[in-house]
């Protein structure tokens, strides 16, 4: 009887261990599929059943990090370290937290200690160090790659997630080619690893919408490898959200079926009502959910309401709900487009106009795609131009030149002329100088420079701009534009007119002035003013000049003859 009892107890312990191992593995599986609430619940149960389990503690901490509960993750690791001492995996977890707390030196010390304790031969430890540094904003991507490569050299290496983390580290360094290679290596070790295929797609997203066919293909391939991989469904849903609401709805349904149904997911479902064009319906459903869930409701609901109110032309409620969204939400919810929308709504209120710039700047700082950054700056310029603030419009078009140093003629042209119309002549002149330097054979830089200096001189705002420079720019413009005088007729007439006036009034060189007036008349024979001015100057030239010796009687200074 006693032996039977002992055998039963041993069997019970073995079964318990199997169940526990399964629960930790289940938690890790939930983590992989980004079902973080399920992972948290499962791992908390596992840790409660076995408080000294290192793996359960590590993965619970990682899950809390993904849920943006850094304090909770820190508490888990601190408690586990008190129980287990300097356990390498827990040291790495705490180092991850310290990176998120901007304590880089402390984190590095934890990582090195963990690696040292395992003699640099534990793939899991090296992988965890790589993940922490690839994931945390303050992490060292180069250090991550170094340790992950070290992991691949460990005997009998076969861990695909080392390459996943390596790819993430290369992405952090903006080395897309190396990242793709790393993800492909992960697929070599596990050809069903949807995450690797999905993340290859994410590389092409950073290259702009021109690569849509490629990254959408990789997302679809990820789903083909693993139909339960929710992140790919979500990205497909967000891509089609503003393009084809029916496709977006289909992908969202599949996403919903494969993820935790949280208040955040429910808010996304309500946002599809907005995307379908039912703005009043979206507001009603969001209000119903906010009333039902109270403080537990997703802040995304305020964003849905704000966008809907904006579509309905209710700027007051749009602003109020965007302010609630930003105050109640956290950075994980904010998208560049949200900042742009907030800037545009704010600009409708005179007392809120000053904050519009800060929101546009946040959108630019947040987005990693250069084209998008430029588009946000253009949107800012367009917004200010629409409300007749040409100075601010010019500032944003000028900023594009620093955002994208590979600017071309179009960017220089619009920045130069917007500064011109905003009466920022010094900046306009600088921009047109850049145009001339980069495109010396193009007439636009010289024409802009000539007009800017002329207007600055006329308005008395020519401080720092050489007064003789309009002549140089005007002449160079005429030289190039004259190759097609019919196409450039109006601009040439303006330049000839300026030079005629400058020579007649400033230099008193009537012959040169008549030369330019003749040029004007040849392009526009009906120009009465040009003809009248030419006649006046010709009469002045034809008028007999006083004799030099006659001036001695009156004591007047002799005038030089033009004959």
How high is the pLDDT of residue 545?
67
DSSP secondary structure code for residue 111 in this structure:
H
Contact by Cβ (8 Å): 187, 166: no
How many residues in the chain?
563
Q: Where are the alpha helices (DSSP H) in 258-314?
A: 263-275, 279-293, 300-311
Task: For the chain of 563 residues, list the mean pLDDT of each consecutive stretch of 10.
Answer: 33 39 88 97 96 96 96 97 94 98 97 97 97 97 98 95 98 96 98 97 89 96 98 97 95 97 93 96 97 93 97 97 95 93 95 93 92 95 94 97 95 97 95 97 97 84 56 95 95 95 92 95 95 93 69 38 34
Neighbouring residues of 79: CB distance < 8 A, sequence distance ≥ 6: 57
Domain ranges, ordered by start, for the chain: 205-261
What does the alpha-carbon distance between residue 86 and residue 95 come to, in Å, rounded to a whole number? 12
* 400 closest CA partner among 429, 371, 357, 426: 371
205-261 CATH fold: 1.25.40
Dihedral sign of CA atoms 23, 28, 31, 32 in order: negative
Neighbouring residues of 208: CB distance < 8 A, sequence distance ≥ 6: 369, 371
What does the alpha-carbon distance between residue 548 and residue 559 come to, in Å, rounded to a whole number? 8
């Amino acid at each position: 009887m006693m032996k039977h009892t002992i055998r039963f107890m041993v069997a019970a312990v073995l079964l318990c261990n199997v169940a526990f191992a399964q629960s930790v593995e289940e938690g890790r599986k939930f983590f992989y599929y980004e079902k973080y609430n399920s992972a948290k619940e499962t791992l908390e149960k596992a840790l409660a059943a076995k408080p000294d389990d290192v793996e359960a503690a590590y993965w619970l901490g990682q899950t809390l990090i993904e849920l943006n509960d850094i304090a909770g993750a820190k508490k888990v690791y601190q408690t586990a370290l008190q129980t287990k001492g300097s356990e390498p995996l827990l040291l790495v977890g705490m180092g991850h937290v310290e990176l998120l707390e901007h304590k880089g030196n402390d984190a590095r010390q934890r990582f090195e200690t963990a690696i040292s304790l395992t003699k640099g031969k534990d793939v899991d430890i090296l992988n965890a160090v790589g993940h922490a540094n690839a994931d945390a904003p303050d992490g060292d991507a180069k250090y991550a790659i170094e340790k992950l490569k070290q992991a691949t050299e460990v005997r009998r290496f076969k861990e695909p997630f080392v390459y996943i983390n390596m790819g993430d580290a290369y992405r952090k360094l903006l080395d897309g080619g190396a990242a793709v290679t790393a993800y492909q290596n992960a697929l070599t070790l596990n050809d069903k690893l949807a995450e690797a295929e999905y993340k290859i797609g994410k590389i092409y997203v950073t290259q702009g919408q021109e690569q849509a066919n490629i990254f959408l293909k990789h997302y679809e391939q990820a789903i083909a490898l693993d139909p339960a991989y929710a992140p790919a469904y979500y990205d497909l849903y967000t891509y089609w959200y503003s393009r084809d609401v029916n496709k977006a709805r289909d992908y969202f349904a599949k996403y919903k079926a494969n993820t935790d149904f949280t208040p955040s997911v429910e808010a996304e479902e309500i946002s599809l009502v907005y995307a379908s064009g039912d703005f009043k319906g979206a507001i009603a459903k969001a209000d119903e959910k906010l009333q039902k869930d109270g403080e537990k409701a997703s802040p995304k609901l305020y964003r849905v309401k704000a966008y809907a109110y904006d579509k309905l032309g209710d700027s007051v409620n749009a602003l109020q709900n965007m302010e609630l969204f930003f105050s109640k939400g956290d950075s994980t919810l904010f998208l560049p487009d949200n900042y742009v929308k907030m800037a545009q709504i704010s600009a409708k209120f005179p007392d809120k106009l000053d904050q519009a710039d800060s929101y546009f700047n946040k959108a630019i700082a947040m987005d990693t795609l250069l084209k998008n950054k430029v588009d946000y700056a253009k949107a800012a310029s367009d917004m200010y131009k629409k409300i007749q603030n040409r100075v601010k419009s010019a500032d944003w078009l000028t900023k594009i030149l620093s955002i994208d140093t590979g600017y071309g003629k179009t960017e220089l042209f619009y920045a130069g002329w917007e500064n011109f119309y905003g009466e920022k002549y010094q900046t306009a002149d600088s921009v047109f100088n850049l145009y001339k330097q980069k495109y010396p054979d193009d007439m636009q830089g010289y024409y802009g420079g000539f007009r800017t200096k002329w207007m600055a001189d006329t308005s008395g705002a020519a401080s720092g701009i050489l007064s003789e420079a309009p002549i140089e720019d005007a002449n160079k413009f005429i030289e190039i534009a004259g190759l097609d005088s019919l196409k450039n007729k109006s601009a040439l007439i303006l330049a000839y007119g300026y030079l005629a006036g400058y020579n007649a009034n400033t230099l008193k060189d009537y012959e040169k002035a008549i030369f330019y007036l003749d040029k004007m008349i040849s392009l526009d024979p009906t120009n009465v003013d040009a003809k009248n001015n030419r006649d006046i100057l010709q009469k002045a030239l034809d008028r007999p000049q006083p004799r030099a010796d006659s001036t001695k009687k009156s004591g007047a200074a002799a005038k030089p003859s033009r004959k």
